[in-house]
Structures are given as C-alpha cells and as structure tokens.
Structure 1
Amino acid sequence: MQVATIFKLFVGSFSWTSFTWLYASGKGCGFSSFPLFGLEMYKKRFFFDFSTTFIGVGMICPPMVNITLLAGGITSWGFLFPFLETKSGQWYHTSSPTSLVGSNGYKVFITVTLIVVDGIYNFIILLITAFIDFRQKQQETDSVVGNYLRKHPSLNYDDRRRIEVFLENRIPFSIPAVAYVVCAIICAIIIPRMFYQITFFNVLTIYIIIPVLALTNTYATGLTDWNVAYTYAKFTIFIVSAWVAKPGAIVASLVACGLVVSALHVSSQATQDVKTGYMTLTSQRALVIMQILGIIIGSILTPCIFRAFQNTAKAHIPIGAPDSEYPCPYAGVYRAIAVVGTGGAKELPDHCLMFCFAAACFAIAVNTLSIVSQRNGWKIMNYIPNVTVFALPFFIGSSGPIDMCIGTIVMFIWTKINSQSAALLSSAVAAG
C-alpha cells in the first residue's frame, strides 16, 4: 500500500509541476508566485507557490516547527523588515537588495546571529549532557541498547528493532575525532601553499569553529529540511575579510567560505543519510564508508568536470564572466561581501550590531526558558519556539512556511477522519 501510494502521488505531483511549468514564462511568474494574499503582501514574500515539495515536508515536520516557521516569517517580513525599509536614507544609503551596507545587512546578520547563538547555546548544553551521560554509563552494567529500551518500554516492535540496529552499529567517537584532527592539520598545511593570502593559523581557526557551525546547520536541516550553509558562508566571508584586513583579505575570505560550505554540506547530507539508514535498518558504518568513497570519487570527477566547462568556454570570455556561457552571478555578490568586510564592522548599516545584540539576547532567553520548562515539566514547553527554525524565514521568506502549514492542516484533517490511515500512509504521501 505504501509503495503504491508513493507512485500515485509521484505521478500526481509530477503532473501538477509540469502543468505549472507551462504557465511560467520566467522568474516571479505563474503559479509558483501566486499573489493569493494581494500584491502588497506578495512584495513582502507572503504568497502561495503551490509547492507540493514543501506541503509534503510540512506533513512530516511536527506542527510546532511549521507554526514557528510561519511566525518567523510574519515577524521578519511582516514587521521588522518593513520598519527597516522606512529608515532608508537615514541608517543606510543604498537600495541594492544584495549589499551588506544596505537593508540586506540587517537581514543577513540578524539571521546568522539568531542561528549561531542558538547553535552555540545548544552545543554547550550538548557537551554538558554528553559528559553527564558518559559518567552515568561508566557506572552502568547494562548495554546502551538495553538501557535505552528499558527507559522507553512503550516503543513498538519496529522502533525497537530500528534502535537496536542503529545503536549496535555505532562508530566509536575516537575514529571521526582523530580523522577530523588529521584532516584539519593536512588542510592547514596544504591550503596556505595553494593560496598564500590565507595563513596556517587562519585555516586552523576555521577548522576549530566548523564543528559548532556544522552542528547548528545539521540541526536546522534535520528539523526543517533546509540547508542554510550559504548563510553561514556569507557570515564567514565578512568575518574573515575583517579579520585579515590586508591585501589578499578578499581571496582569504573566499577560501574560508569554500571550507565552511563544503564542511556544512557534507555534515548535513551525511546526517540525512543516517536518518534514512535508521528508517531502513541500514548500518551506520556502511553509510559512512560509502560517504567517504563518494567524496573520494567526487574529488576526482569535479575538477575534471570543471576543466571540461573551462575548455568549452570562449577564449576571450572566461568562465564565470557575465557574458560567458556559464556565468556565475553569485560570485560577484560574494566578492562584494568580502570587499565590504575589509572595512570591518564600521561598514555595516547603522544600529546593525544593536539589532544583533537584541537577537542574541532573544535566542538565549528562549533557550533558557525551554530548558527550565523541560526540567520542571511545565506544559508551556510544548509551545516554546525553536530559535533556529524561527530565524530561517528571515532570509528565505514565508512562501515555504505557508506551504508547510498547509501540510500540517492536511495531516490534522486526515487524522480526524481516519487516524489509522494517516499513521500508515502519511509518510508515503509526503514522499510521493
């Protein structure tokens, strides 16, 4: 039934997407930009894009995640950003939608502050919890699997079997830890030889910070299926270019951006695969070995593919140029961020750091309230928003959260009509 449902919904979703494609002549046209709430709301990114993908994701995600996403979109694009737009000419003096010295500076840095502070807070809590848990396990004679199952006696057979396979095939922590340290040292030695603008100390510092960023990005990807690695990349470019602050700072910051993006993409993708492995009773070790093999193959194939594009480009118009057959428009955006970063925080629009400080305080307060309510068993703990989820729509708008909330409504109605059918087939419908 589940397999048949996936294929039925796949055909339906594919047909609908093909139909909407026929009525779109370009960006911002057709059903994918349908101004359901009016043109003024459309300008503030409140519209329905008929995305079956995000409706499906919304059916899988917990209702509180979807509601939090929508709340973040309303707070940012409904109130905060319109207020900042009224300060054009007073707090900033450019109308460019991509410049960090304009309104985009507030969007990027407030969003990144919320996500990073939430990530660091959770990272510290994770370390404390892991240390306490490790001390407790040293005093226990029962196995990890037996101890977990004993604490959760109400689990059904499928979940118990998945947990047994998942925990019994764990990779010892020492292996990835040692591998990461070795990889960091190798890169810290080799990369400065390839790009003299960045130093051994710069690369090593980035590798010390990457685990925190990877944890927060992977956490957000696991909750919402959105990978915001490029938001961290922009933040990294600005910080590193301001840190180096000398000739070569632009190249150094773009190299740092490449390191962060590649690390964050690998970590979030690997975790998604491990989650799929948990559902399909696949060994973690087998998944990680295949990940490593895929990275090795990709490291060989990707430069070859790049060289193929390079060789087929016109001699007088290099790859990446605006007039090239293969333009890279974001390259100019990222370089512009690096140029702004060389001037440091003083290049940011007025009061940007004040807004970032307020965002950091908000993240700490919400996380503290969440932990205290969980410890005391308060009912409010089920309604406290996740800060990272709340921050994502600040950068991407509200069209996705609207679709995901529709998925929540579909699940609510379906469960009311037939809860057994919803439990059995909802994941298959969402996947299709």
Structure 2
Amino acid sequence: MENDGEAREGRHRRDVHEAAGYPTEVHVDNWGDKKADPSVAPDEDQIESADKNAEFRDAWVKLDEILGTEAGYMDVPIPPWKEQLTLRALVVSVILGTLFSIITHRLNLTVGVIPSLNVPAGLLGFFLIKTWVTLITKAGFTSKPFTRQENTVIQTCVVSCYGIAFSGGFGSYLLGMSSFAYERIGPDTEGNTVQDIKNPSLSWIYPFIFTVSLLGIFVLVPLRKIMIIDYRLIYPSGTATAVLINSFHTPSGAKTAKKQVRYLGKYFTLSFLWSFFKWFFSGLGDTCGFDNFPTLGLKAYANMFYFDFSATYIGSGIICPHIVNCSVLFGAIVSWGLMWPLIQNREGDWYPTGLNPGRDFRGIFGYKVFISIAIILGDGLYNFVKVTFVTVWNLYIQNKNRQQLPSTVAKSEKDDDDVNFDRKRRDTIFLSETVPYWVALGGYGILAIISIIVIPHLFPSVKWYYVLVAYIIAPLFAFCNAYGCGLTDWSLASNYGKLLLFIFAAWAGSGGGGIIAGLAACGVMMSIVSTASDLMQDFKTGYMTLSSPRSMFTAQLVGGILGCLIGPATFWLYWTAFNIGSPTSAYQAPFAVIYRTMALLGVEGFGSLPKHCLQLCAGWFAFAVVLNLIRDNVPRKYSRYIPIPMAMAIPFYLGAYFAIDMFIGTCIVFVWERIDKKKADSFSAAIASGLICGDGLWIIPSAILNFAKVNPPICMYFFSAKNPAIPS
C-alpha cells in the first residue's frame, strides 16, 4: 500500500499480485521447471538470502520467460520516441494526474495509507485513449493506432504527476510547518515555538515544489544501463505494469481490459453517487452523517470503533494485501481496544487530569503520538538497515560473478528460446537511444544551484550550506533506494527524509527555526530519493514495452512539471474548503503532527513526555524490530500471518474506523478468491480503482458546494436515549 503516506513506502505493492491474472492463464504451479539465467540474475539462494519477503521477484522473471512476449509483436513497428509522446497522451495524463492527485491528497490527509495506483493509471489510460480513437473514427476522421509505447508514456506521466502529491509532503512535512500542527502539539511544549510556523500559501509552496521535486528525475539517469541491463534488477511494480500494458495490446488482453473497464466504470459511478447521497446527511459538519455512524454501538464509537461507509477505504482494503489490512485492524484493537483505555484509567497518576485529549502532549495524546512514532521508527530503521545490507551484498555478488565469468561462454540451448529473444530485442531498443549525460548532470547542477539560492529565502532558518550538503549526499541515497527498490520493491524515501529531518533539526538547534529546518531538509531528500526510484521503475516498464528511454525520461519530466502545477492546486482545494487539522474533522492530517513531533525530538529530545511514555516507546520500538526479525526468519507459510509493524502504527494515532473499512475490503477479496480466484485476480483491482476514484472525484463538487455556502439539508446524529445530547 505505498507510501504510508507511510505504508506506501515500506511494503510490496499490490499491483504485482493483481497483474498476475492479466496476461495469460499461466499459474505459479507451472513455473517450477523454468530457471532464470544465472549469468544475468541472482539464483534462488541469492534471492532468498537477500530478501526472504521478495520471492515474487523471481516469479516475474519466470513469467516473462514463459510468455515470450516480443515474438507476437514482430510485425508491429516501433514508433520513434517523439511519436510516442502525443497530444492525446498529454491530455489524458492531465485528466488522470488531476484525479489521482485529488485521491492521494484525500488519503494523505485522512489515514496516510496510499495504495499503488500504477495499475489504475495503465487501465484508465488504455480506456480513455481507446474511447478517443473510437469517437474520432466514428466521426469520419483517421487516428493514429494506440500503441503500448503510448500507453506506457501515459502511465509514466500520471504516476510521476500524482507521485508529487505524495513526496511533496502535503500531508506530512510541509503541513507539519503549519499553525494547526503547532497547536496540536501545544504552545506550552518546550521547543515548539511560534518561530517554527509557516502556514501553507501558494506563494511559497509553488517555488519550493518546483525547486525540489524535479531534481530526482536527473540524478540517476546516467546509471540506467547499469540498473536495468547490467544488474538485471527486477523492479516488480515496473515489471507488473509492463506485463499489464503488453497484455492490453494483444487481442485476448484487449478483451480482458474491456471487461475491467466495465467493472471500473460501474463501481466508479456507484461510489460517486453514494458519496453524493451521504452528503445530504452531513448538515452540521464533522459530527453528522454516515461518516460518524455508530455501527458497533456508542461505547465502541467513543473509542473510534465504527464503520464509516467510506468507499475509498473499502477500495484501499480490496487493493492492499490481506496482511496489511489485518495488521491495521490488529493495531487498532491493541491500541484503542486495550492500551488507551488502560492508560486512561491512570489519569491523575501517570498524567494530570483535565488535559485536552486531542492536543495536550502531557496527557493521553502524548502516548498516542510518541508510541506511533516509536513503531514507525523501529520498522523504518530495521528496513533501512536491511535494504542497505541487501544492496551492498548484491552489489558484491554482482561484481564477484562478473569477475568469475569465463572469457567465452558456450552456446546453450537457452540461446535460442523466447526469453533470450525478448531480452536481446529489449536490450537493443533500450540501448539504441540514450539520454545525454550532459542533460542529466546539467539539469541536476542547475536545479541544485537554484535550490541553494531559493530555499534559504523561503525558509530563513535553512542555511545555504544545509542545502548544499543535502544535494551532495542525495545521489548516494537515491542510488541505494533505487537499487533496493529494484530488488525488493520497497522505496524507503520517507526513511531517508526522516534521517535528514533529525540531523538538520539538531544542526539548526533550538531557539526557533530548528523544526522548520528539519522539515524542509526532509522534503528536499524525500523528493529527490522518491522521484529517482520512480524513474527507474518507469525505465523498467519502458524496457519491457520497447518504449524509448528518451520518451520515458521526457514523460517523467512532463509528469513532474504537471505534478508541480496540479499537486499544490489540488491541495489548496482541500485547504480552503475543509477544516484540515481539526480533531473532529475527517481530514486530521495525522502525519503532519507526527513529522513535526519528530523534528521537535531532534531539537529538544524527550524532556516533556508524560510518565512512563519513554519506556513504552522503547518497548514498542523493540517490538517493531523483533517482529520484523521474526517475519524475515520464519518460513513464508508462517510469516504471512505475522502483522506488519508499520501498518499497525497508523491506527494507534487515528482510531479504528478506517481499519474496519479496509478489513471489509479484504474480506470481500478473500471470499471472492475462494469462489473464483481467477476472476478475483483479474477484476478486483478494477473494482477497487472505481471505488477509490468515484469517491475521490466527489471532492470537486463537494468543495464547490462548500465555497458557494450550500450546506447539506439534514444532520444525521446519534445519541444515547438515557443521556440525549443533540448538537446545536
């Protein structure tokens, strides 16, 4: 589920699993007699020692071997790279980029759980262009054929666009600078000063986003051959998306795609209409309507256990792995079902009575925030060390194997099979066009110089040499993240960002400015590392669809520019139309408070924590590390039932309502898989995409109605018959 805001960053993406049903009826059971070429990919022992949670990487290599994809495309000409970048592709990218940015902001500002939208981007791009071609043809005009290369360009552009809505920090570090995050932590908290407030404004958001979000596109371009050709990194999400797009443009694949589009359209419409219906019952705002429906009783509702009828969260549950959804629910039960009620019983002993439970760090709010942070940091640190080790070890193995290769290799039977034909053709196309080194190095250098000048003007506490240091070490972190993502599909961009957050917050120090400096440095690093990893994923997709590296680079750059324009604009829609940050709002922006608290810890330490909070944080930090160790060192048949700490941490702060919604989504998929697994694998992602997109699109008319001061006519509110408390 991506990012996490946070959960998206640390876990395998669901689209790898979803795409498995698209191309053919090849199943895992049929892959056992095929072996990867040891001269170009790690053998099974190396993969297992590198990452026991990434068995599916080898499966995707074998799937590609079995398909022999390129033999079916020999009669299809490959368009030049400029013809892969069409006007209609740009128009579709703007439409989908805007929609997915709205969805990403909604998820960032509510629960922070962002499922990968690569598959919906490829599917909707296919649908919109096919519709475009059909309408043009019926009108009597001729239209260029829709190629898989153009489909890949759309997917790349859309992912690059909505990726900035995530890496731009609109729900995390950027919003952590605001006054609402300052107030949620508490003006009385030591180190939390008014000098560390910078409220959102398009006048500074746009130059900041343009300054930091495009550098990552340039930083790793010179290494594309090493990552894709020499090291044969898998990039499971990029591979899965390529398999999906290749299947769309074959006769049988197009038929399946049409069915998927019908499912998506049907549930998109239902989701949009359901959101419209719910609006009528939310007349008095945050306390009314289906979003506050006490489905499990008023006592459970008071402890954040209720089903809020959200199509977005149900769709996220459908598209996320079962273990993620179950981990979220388990975390909600442990925290809101057991731990918080027990700690509340210690009120007056562990912390003073009468404190605001939604904002005062000296009370229960402090336990919620800091224990959540402890779990996130424990999980993040473990995976940071693990993926770094995997990266270094695999680099060593690659270089060792290369040195031990004989000078001549005997021709084998495998030289004549489909896999080598596909590989050789893809290698030829991928290497036939290059992105000049001077473009990459010049682009990075020019943008770095601009950043060194601009960022200190936007944030006076960020000295120019802070930015210089960040840009000197960023390429190393970007390479490590992109290499680790190629092995495991885990992007640890937020972990690299948090590392710089602590370092620069401590460097700037207390007395005002340290929090802003830490959050800004986090944004610089997170944007570069995240974008660089996304670009390499897209290069892998382009490699497998015979798309030109130049068109991939250009699409990523265009998508990044669109994201820099669309991301702030769609965020501003939320910021001006909804009560972001209120404890009773649907848009609480939980990670804004968490990131600001991390910066505060970097500046001041743990001085203001309530009684026993530090001990509990240490225990949960250790729990996250130990749980990850267990997951990585027990057989797969057992580890898939062990909760994921990162997913557990999210409801510790927010509550259980979204966990219940996501669990309902996972139950739907679980039952469907038992009834018809093939159909569930093929169409569950389309249904989930429809639910998420329909609910997300409702934000636009909802905001317009809000701007026009048109209020819903009804307030549906629940209260105890013994103690009525009707809102005024």
TM-score, normalised via structure 2 length: 0.44
CA distance in 1, matches of 2:326, 2:317: 10
Larger radius of gyration: 2
Question: What are the Cα deviations for residues 78-129 of structure 1, in whole angstroms up to 9, with x where unaligned?
Answer: 1122222233333333325123333222222221221122112112111221
Question: What are the Cα deviations for residues 311-340 of structure 1, in whole angstroms up to 9, with x where unaligned?
Answer: xx9xxxxxx9x9xxxxx999x979996889
**Residue from 374, 388, 394 that aligns with 1:127:** 388
CA distance in 1, matches of 2:609, 2:326: 32
Tell me whether 1:349 sits opposite 2:613 in the alignment. no
Tell me whether 1:101 sits opposite 2:362 in the alignment. yes
CA distance in 2, matches of 1:417, 1:386: 27
In structure 1, the residue matched to 2:674 is 416
* 1:428 Cα offset (Å): 1.4
In structure 1, the residue matched to 2:306 is 47
**Residue from 17, 23, 33 that aligns with 2:281:** 23
> Does the CA contact (< 8 Å) of 2:510 and 2:603 recur in 1?
yes
1:291–1:199 Cα change, 3 Å: same
Correspondence list, 1:48-67, <5 A: 48-67=307-326
In structure 2, the residue matched to 1:145 is none
1:196–1:262 Cα change, 3 Å: closer
* Counterpart code for 2:359: T
What secondary structure sits across from 1:100 in the alignment?
coil
Tell me whether 1:76 sits opposite 2:338 in the alignment. no
**Residue from 256, 259, 273 that aligns with 2:518:** 256
* Counterpart code for 2:642: I
1:413–1:102 Cα change, 3 Å: same
Q: Which moved more, 1:286-295 or 1:362-371?
A: 286-295
> Does the CA contact (< 8 Å) of 1:277 and 1:284 recur in 2?
no
> Does the CA contact (< 8 Å) of 1:254 and 1:335 recur in 2?
no
**Which protein has the bigger helix share?**
1
* 1:46 Cα offset (Å): 1.0
In structure 2, the residue matched to 1:397 is 655
CA distance in 1, matches of 2:266, 2:291: 22
What secondary structure sits across from 2:606 in the alignment?
helix
1:54–1:100 Cα change, 3 Å: same
What secondary structure sits across from 1:346 in the alignment?
coil
* Counterpart code for 2:653: F
**Residue from 623, 639, 643 that aligns with 1:362:** 623
> Does the CA contact (< 8 Å) of 1:206 and 1:256 recur in 2?
no
* Counterpart code for 1:78: G
* Counterpart code for 1:370: R
In structure 2, the residue matched to 1:426 is 684
Question: What are the Cα deviations for residues 163-218 of structure 1, in whole angstroms up to 9, with x where unaligned?
Answer: x979x96999x999989996778756764465443445655677769959x97xx9
1:355–1:51 Cα change, 3 Å: same
TM-score, normalised via structure 1 length: 0.69
CA distance in 1, matches of 2:532, 2:451: 21
Percent identity reads 30
Correspondence list, 1:226-375, <5 A: 244-247=508-511, 249-250=512-513, 252-261=514-523, 263-264=525-526, 274=537, 278=541, 281=545, 286=551, 289-296=554-561, 344-373=605-634
CA distance in 1, matches of 2:552, 2:600: 41
CA distance in 2, matches of 1:196, 1:403: 43
> Does the CA contact (< 8 Å) of 1:99 and 1:336 recur in 2?
no
Tell me whether 1:7 sits opposite 2:265 in the alignment. yes
What secondary structure sits across from 2:610 in the alignment?
coil
> Does the CA contact (< 8 Å) of 1:58 and 1:407 recur in 2?
yes
Question: What are the Cα deviations for residues 134-181 of structure 1, in whole angstroms up to 9, with x where unaligned?
Answer: 232231569xxxxxxx9xxxxxx9xx989x979x96999x99998999
> Does the CA contact (< 8 Å) of 1:270 and 1:288 recur in 2?
no
* 1:371 Cα offset (Å): 2.1
1:133–1:243 Cα change, 3 Å: closer
In structure 1, the residue matched to 2:461 is 197
* 1:68 Cα offset (Å): 0.8
1:50–1:265 Cα change, 3 Å: farther
Instruction: Structure 1 unaligned segments of length 5 or more: list them.
Output: 143-149, 151-156, 314-319, 323-327
> Does the CA contact (< 8 Å) of 1:9 and 1:429 recur in 2?
yes
What secondary structure sits across from 1:400 in the alignment?
helix
* Counterpart code for 2:624: A
Instruction: Structure 2 unaligned segments of length 5 or more: list them.
Output: 1-258, 407-413, 583-587, 691-728
> Does the CA contact (< 8 Å) of 2:519 and 2:596 recur in 1?
no
What secondary structure sits across from 1:50 in the alignment?
coil
CA distance in 2, matches of 1:104, 1:298: 35
1:368–1:202 Cα change, 3 Å: same
* Counterpart code for 1:130: T
> Does the CA contact (< 8 Å) of 1:237 and 1:254 recur in 2?
no
> Does the CA contact (< 8 Å) of 2:304 and 2:655 recur in 1?
yes
> Does the CA contact (< 8 Å) of 2:461 and 2:508 recur in 1?
no
> Does the CA contact (< 8 Å) of 2:313 and 2:661 recur in 1?
yes
CA distance in 1, matches of 2:534, 2:614: 34
Correspondence list, 1:162-201, <5 A: 187=451, 191-192=455-456, 195-199=459-463
Tell me whether 1:34 sits opposite 2:296 in the alignment. no
Aligned pairs, number? 387
* 1:295 Cα offset (Å): 4.3
Q: Which moved more, 1:128-137 or 1:361-370?
A: 128-137
Q: Which moved more, 1:417-426 or 1:50-59?
A: 417-426
* Counterpart code for 1:113: A
* 1:3 Cα offset (Å): 1.2
* 1:224 Cα offset (Å): 12
1:291–1:113 Cα change, 3 Å: farther
> Does the CA contact (< 8 Å) of 2:503 and 2:518 recur in 1?
no
> Does the CA contact (< 8 Å) of 2:539 and 2:552 recur in 1?
no
* 1:392 Cα offset (Å): 1.7
The alignment's C-alpha RMSD in Å is: 5.2
> Does the CA contact (< 8 Å) of 2:372 and 2:653 recur in 1?
yes
* Counterpart code for 1:351: H
Tell me whether 1:380 sits opposite 2:638 in the alignment. yes
CA distance in 1, matches of 2:280, 2:684: 29
